[in-house]
Amino acid sequence: MKNDACLYWQALNRALDAELAADDDVIVLGEDVGLYGGSYRVTEGLYARYGEWRVRDTPISESSFTGLGVGAALVGLRPVVEIMTINFALLALDAIINMAAKIPFMSGGQFPMPLVVRMPGGVARQLAAQHSQRLEQTLMNVPGLRIAVPATPQDAWWQLRQAIRSDEPIVVLEHELLYFSKGPLDEAAEAPPMHRAEVCRAGADLTIVTYSRMRELSLRAAAQLAEQGISAEVIDLRSLRPIDWETCLASLRKTHRLLVVEEDSRFAGAGAEVVATLAERAFFTLDQPPRRVAGEELPIAYNARLEAASIPSAPSIVAAAREICGQQPPEEKS
Amino acid sequence: MTELLKKMLRDMLLARAFEERAAEEYAKGNIGGFLHLYPGEEAVGVGVLHAAEPADYVVSTYREHVHALARGLSPGAVMAELFGRKDGCSGGMGGSMHLFDRERRFMGGYAIVGETFPVAIGIAYAIALRELPEAVICFFGDGAVNQGTFHESLNMAALWRLPVLFVCENNHYQIGTEIHRHSAVPEVHKRACAYHVPARRVDGMDVLAVYHASGEALAQVRAGNGPQLLEFETYRFRGHSMADAGHYRPRAEVQAYERRGDPIDVAMAEAGMDEAAAARIPADHVGRLAAQLGRDGHLDEEAFESMKAAVAAEVEAAVAFAENSPEPAMEDARAALDCNRHGEVLL
Ligand SMILES: Cc1ncc(C[n+]2csc(CCOP(=O)(O)OP(=O)(O)O)c2C)c(N)n1
Ligand SMILES: [Mg+2]
């Protein structure tokens, strides 16, 4: 299975399969994860293979089935709770924030919390305001949680397996538009530490720090920038809590310019944390004020054009990068 | 009664034609996102909302186009919303799952399952406080009753005798999960007794039965006797949404519902179309209808055909209206977000 090209959902599916096979304490639960095979096919085939006690279809009761995951984890199961989309996780925040993240601490360290909550989020295609958000900032502010944001099939494979094997509560944020993206998967390759960032393109003039689906757009922008004589380094954080500052700092020591690209709205978003900490730690390394390219301060409209205009695009990343590098946007050809 | 029945039949035909056309427009790319259609369930929305008064409020789910139409929103305004256009009933911001119309007291389509309950009891609280003779109609699916908000809201509605009619559209599925696999008590109406809320189950494929049950329940609600719950047994003929083919449903089950009767056929029978005329109508499931017909002959073939033609023209006009409506601009989006109507100074 070396360097098999595979879809993102398939990588997640293989990761679940591998862990269900390896450990009888692993269970998967969520709406339509069983018989139906998962809304995005992530759990396809698992119900037939492992049966209803290990792959459980739940009612629409996010608060309580996520809480069930917490209870089961307390006594040693390793539940992987699928919340159909992150929008419904708002109903499960008590279980995630008040229970999963705090029980290990409140119990004075008596109870580990081997719980994984996986869910897709993000702006997909015209799913409208209630179904187009990521909410990572809400979870990032919770001590005790870890947050993985795999953007490639390889990372999905590694990080989901690492999350299941971990004794800490971990949220895996997937992206609806990544499920059917393709990439290489080497199942046998040695995994980097779960929260280490990846420099996915080397460059010298500026550092673009990004994650999840914005990785792809940032790489596209970096390719366009290269044609315009600007060499951008692109870092995929792969994780939002903890964040691998060392990889970012090493890059800034080289480029001295920082651009953060995030899909969700700017105010108090993930990018704010990245910029604040890097400014604190690398203020004198930076030649320019750091910048963010982020979503608009608006819920996402159903209308397709407004939706597209509400989130970063490769051209908006290119324009911001040129600005920090002291270059005006290229003249419009008339 | 016959006039009312004809109106309801007409609304059901419009509902069916509108939804089938929406599916076509989705395939053409004019509609995007999640699109949840209503064929099979028309008798519920149409029957309930014909029993409602204009002063009543409606709170609905993401499967709400037909609720909106039956409430009197124009097909053009609904279609334009599905197209994401400026003349849509939510200005192109909400889309298929978020239809709103303040004037008609259509208080929104909500896409997070279980949200309709608290919104409905909030409106009902205001009605009760102001001692108005109004009611709130709260739609929800069989899957929604396992959400905490169902129980929490039923309790508060009963405790404070709030004027809500809870309307369950029990189509037996929560996407791919059949009701016996998601509910320990699959008879939704039985749950209401936990809160002393009067409830019953009604055939949701029979528009007259829906209409009568709703009228009686609403009379109780408006009289200040507290909430009521109706469970309408129905079936969706299509998948959950355009993204779902519905393959998890056994063929025999789908056929059984088709045999039991398309709600439109039932309505035609009740409208008293004569047997021979009905038999000549090239509709989908008329076989069953023929056996039931042959009563007063109030609705002859010609009248039926002209009704269908009128409805088809209305849908055509709705699509034209949507196509000709402009796209909203970013300023429209910002204006929509801003509810500071009184110039409150913020900074
Ligand atoms: C809180 C929440 N969880 C999950 C979903 C995804 N979802 C959308 S519709 C649906 C099924 C709802 O079934 P039901 O209430 O019976 O209504 P129906 O679609 O059958 O009309 C699910 C699980 C959601 N929208 N909201
Ligand atoms: Mg249902």
Provide the residue range defining the domain that includes B265: 250-298
3-state DSSP of chain A: CCCEEEEHHHHHHHHHHHHHHHCCCEEEEECCCCCCCCCCCCCCCHHHHHCCCCEEECCCCHHHHHHHHHHHHHCCCEEEEECCCHHHHHHHHHHHHHHHCCHHHHCCCCCCCCCEEEEEEECCCCCCHHHCECCHHHHHCCCCCEEECCCCHHHHHHHHHHHHHCCCCEEEEEECCCCCCEEEECCCCCCCCCCCCEEEECCCCEEEEECCCHHHHHHHHHHHHHHCCCCEEEEECCEEECCCHHHHHHHHHHHCCEEEEEEEECCCCHHHHHHHHHHHHHHHHCCCCCEEEEECCCCCCCCHHHHHHCCCCHHHHHHHHHHHCCCCCCCCCC
Q: Are residues A172 and A30 in the same domain?
A: yes
On whether the CB atoms of residues A212 and A175 are closer than 8 A, the answer is yes
Predicted complex ipTM: 0.94
On whether the CB atoms of residues A325 and A230 are closer than 8 A, the answer is yes
Q: Are residues A53 and A134 in the same domain?
A: yes
| Residues A259-292 pLDDT 10s | 999 999 999 999 999 999 999 999 999 999 999 9
Q: Is the per-residue pLDDT at B232 higher than 80? A: yes
Q: Are residues B129 and B194 in the same domain?
A: yes
Q: Are residues B191 and B281 in the same domain?
A: no
Q: Are residues B174 and B28 in the same domain?
A: yes
Question: From ligand 1's centre to the CA of A313, what distance in Å?
Answer: 31
Of A160, A186, A212, the domain-final residue:
A186
- In angstroms, the separation between the Cα of residue A44 and the nearest Cα of chain B is 13
The average pLDDT across B290-307 equals 61
Quick check: helix, strand or coil at residue B217?
helix
Quick check: helix, strand or coil at residue B51?
coil
Band of the pLDDT at B275, cuts 50, 70, 90?
low
Q: Are residues A139 and A268 in the same domain?
A: no
The average pLDDT across B50-57 equals 98
Band of the pLDDT at B291, cuts 50, 70, 90?
very low
Determine whether the shortest distance from the Cβ of A82 to ligand 1 is under 6 A. Answer: no
Q: Are residues B285 and B180 in the same domain?
A: no
Phi, psi of A110 (to 5 degrees): -75, -35
Residue A232 lies in a domain: yes
Residue owning the nearest CA to atom 8 of ligand 1: B113
Q: Are residues A236 and A272 in the same domain?
A: yes
Q: Are residues A165 and A227 in the same domain?
A: no
Considering every ligand atom, which ligand is closest to the CA of B36? 1
Q: Are residues B38 and B118 in the same domain?
A: yes
In a mutational test of the B interface, the residue from A130, A302, A310 whose CB has the highest number of chain B CBs within 10 Å is A302
The tally of domains found in chain A comes to 2
Of A137, A164, A186, the domain-final residue:
A186
The average pLDDT across B156-179 equals 98
Residue B264 lies in a domain: yes
Band of the pLDDT at B257, cuts 50, 70, 90?
confident
CA distance B129 to B144: 27
The average pLDDT across B295-300 equals 60
CA distance B195 to B184: 17
Catalytic positions of A, written as ranges: 62, 131
pLDDT, position B254: 85
On whether the CB atoms of residues A83 and A62 are closer than 8 A, the answer is yes
Q: Are residues B183 and B290 in the same domain?
A: no
Provide the residue range defining the domain that includes A283: 198-324
Chain A contact set for B93 (CB, 8 A): 129, 301-303, 306
Phi, psi of B340 (to 5 degrees): -80, 85
Chain A contact set for B92 (CB, 8 A): 301-303, 306
Residue B238 lies in a domain: yes
Q: Are residues B166 and B148 in the same domain?
A: yes
The average pLDDT across A291-316 equals 98
Q: Are residues A181 and A47 in the same domain?
A: yes
Q: Are residues A172 and A280 in the same domain?
A: no
The average pLDDT across B299-322 equals 91
Q: Are residues A34 and A143 in the same domain?
A: yes
CA angle, B86 then B61 then A42, to 5°: 100
Residue B340 lies in a domain: no
Band of the pLDDT at B343, cuts 50, 70, 90?
confident
CA distance B204 to B233: 5
Question: From ligand 1's centre to the CA of B112, what distance in Å?
Answer: 7
CATH code at position A317: 3.40.50.920
pLDDT, position A106: 98
Q: Which of A58, A60, A305 is nearest residue B144 as measured by Cβ atoms?
A: A60
In a mutational test of the B interface, the residue from A60, A88, A93, A126 whose CB has the highest number of chain B CBs within 10 Å is A60
Q: Are residues A132 and A278 in the same domain?
A: no
Q: Are residues B292 and B201 in the same domain?
A: no
Nearest residue in B to A309, CA atom: B330
CATH code at position A149: 3.40.50.970
Question: From ligand 2's centre to the CA of B65, what distance in Å?
Answer: 16
Chain B contact set for A64 (CB, 8 A): 148
Q: Are residues A81 and A165 in the same domain?
A: yes
Q: Are residues A135 and A157 in the same domain?
A: yes
Q: Are residues B206 and B271 in the same domain?
A: no
Q: Are residues B145 and B59 in the same domain?
A: yes
CA distance A282 to A286: 6
| Residues A181-235 pLDDT 10s | 999 999 999 999 999 999 999 999 999 999 999 999 999 999 999 999 999 999 9
Band of the pLDDT at A40, cuts 50, 70, 90?
very high
| Residues A98-129 pLDDT 10s | 999 999 999 999 999 999 999 999 999 999 99
Band of the pLDDT at B284, cuts 50, 70, 90?
very low
The average pLDDT across A229-254 equals 98
- Counting other chains too, the contacts that B292-300 makes at CB distance below 8 Å and 24 or more residues apart are B292/B266, B293/B268, B293/B269, B296/B2, B296/B272, B297/B272, B297/B273, B298/B2, B298/B6, B298/B271, B298/B272, B298/B273, B299/B2, B299/B6, B299/B9, B299/B268, B299/B271, B299/B272, B299/B273, B300/B273, B300/B274
CA distance A290 to A102: 34
Residue B218 lies in a domain: yes
Of A186, A206, A221, the domain-final residue:
A186
